[in-house]
């Protein structure tokens, strides 16, 4: 077993990859307006794995959807690698999507039930500037499938023939195949059993090490956040209440809400100090 950090942190680059400033999204109008994301400001450096944690309804997924340009922001901006991205349209937006990819919580809703896996993966390669053809396309698909721990035979299966864990891994393979610079993973493991969860989280760490991929990992599970991330952002009612290194947020939280959240998390070893290092 390696003695250093399992995910092998990379030294952060000089300027942030993702820079979010005053980002706001509200729904409804007049007296019934609900502000799901409320003036959120943070940065993510290249090669960092940043966890965004918070309870149900705290605005995590809305923030993800705005960053993915699936929802328009009400106010504020964000930029990728110094280039403003919050108002992109047309070809510029398509190019943004080459750099920023997503994996969602529910792998059921991301599949077209009438397409086998191969067609799904081929289709998403159309997003690339120069889609590879023939043999290279097949090789790239097989490599992506192997990376997520699946066999090439899933390429010819239909969504209903795959288990939830397989579907989720294919979604991850799809995103990884495009070699995005930023992966936004919104609760990617919540439908998976504990034994598979670790495999997926380890894969995120490997992709960062091998390709310098940056990850925004959204979860309500602080245990997973603590395993994989370098930094933790805590969100409550649309606002960011804490932003710090994982060690600082977990062992020395500054905000009262973070402390409350941590105290509600069930532990495997309530008297952790007495437990020998496994």
Partner 1 sequence: MGALLEATDISAVYASADGRDVQAVSNVTLDLLPGEVLGIAGESGCGKSTFAALIALTARPPLVATGGRLRIADEHIDLRHLEMVPRDLRGKLVALLPQGAMNALNPTLRVRDLAYHVIRAHEEGITRREATERARERLEQLSLPVRALDSYPHQLSGGMRQRVVAVISTLLNPQVLIADEPTSALDVSAQRALVELLRELLDRGFIQAVAFITHDLPLLNTVADRIVIMYAGQVAEVGSGRDVVDRPRHPYTKALMETVLVPEPQVRKRRVEGIKGAPPDLRFPPAGCRFHPRCKYAMDVCQREEPPIVGDLHRYAACWWVQQQSEEPVHAE
List of residues contacting partner 1 (CB under 8 A): 1-3, 5-6, 55-56, 163-165, 193-199, 201-202, 220-227, 246-247, 250-251, 260-262, 264-270, 272, 275, 277-278
Nearer to partner 1, 139 or 265 (CB): 265
35 Cβ contact partners less than 8 Å away, ≥ 6 residues apart: 24, 25, 26, 238
**Residue closer to partner 1, measured from CB, 30 or 270:** 270
Q: How far is the CB of 54 from partner 1 (least distance, A)?
A: 9
Task: Answer whether 220's CB lies under 8 Å from 197's CB.
Answer: no
CB closer to partner 1, 214 vs 226: 226
Comparing CB distances to partner 1, the nearer of 2 and 134 is 2
> In angstroms, what is the minimal distance from the CB of 204 to partner 1?
13
Q: How far is the CB of 148 from partner 1 (least distance, A)?
A: 12
Least distance in Å: CB of 58 to partner 1? 9
Shortest distance in whole angstroms from residue 86 CB to partner 1: 29
Task: Please report how close the Cβ of residue 61 comes to partner 1 at its closest, in angstroms.
Answer: 13
Cα–Cα distance for residue pair 51/230, rounded to 1 Å? 8
CB-wise, 133 or 266, nearer to partner 1?
Answer: 266
**57 vs 132, beta carbon nearer partner 1:** 57
């Amino acid at each position: 077993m390696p003695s250093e950090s399992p995910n092998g942190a990379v030294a952060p680059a000089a300027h942030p990859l993702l820079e979010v400033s005053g980002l706001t999204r509200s729904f409804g109008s007049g007296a019934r307006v609900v502000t799901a994301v409320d003036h959120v400001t943070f940065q993510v450096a290249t090669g960092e794995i940043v966890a965004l944690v918070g309870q149900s309804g705290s605005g995590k997924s809305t923030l993800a959807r705005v960053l993915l340009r699936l929802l328009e922001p009400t106010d504020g901006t964000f930029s990728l690698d110094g280039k403003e991205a919050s108002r992109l349209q047309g070809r510029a937006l398509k190019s943004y999507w080459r750099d920023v990819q997503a994996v969602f919580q529910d792998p059921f809703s991301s599949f077209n039930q009438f397409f086998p896996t191969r067609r799904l993966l081929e289709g998403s390669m159309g997003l690339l500037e120069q889609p590879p053809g023939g043999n290279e396309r097949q090789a790239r698909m097989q490599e992506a499938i192997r990376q997520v721990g699946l066999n090439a035979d899933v390429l010819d299966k239909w969504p209903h023939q795959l288990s939830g864990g397989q579907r989720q891994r294919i979604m991850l393979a799809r995103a990884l195949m495009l070699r995005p610079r930023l992966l936004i993973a919104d609760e990617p493991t919540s439908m998976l059993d504990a034994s598979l969860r670790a495999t997926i989280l380890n894969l995120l760490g490997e992709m960062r090490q091998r390709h310098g991929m940056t990850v925004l990992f959204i979860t309500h599970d602080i245990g997973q956040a603590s395993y994989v991330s370098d930094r933790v952002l805590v969100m409550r009612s649309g606002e960011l209440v804490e932003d710090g290194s994982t060690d600082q947020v977990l062992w020395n939280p500054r905000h009262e809400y973070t402390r409350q959240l941590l105290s509600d998390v069930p532990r495997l070893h309530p008297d952790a100090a007495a437990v020998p290092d496994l």
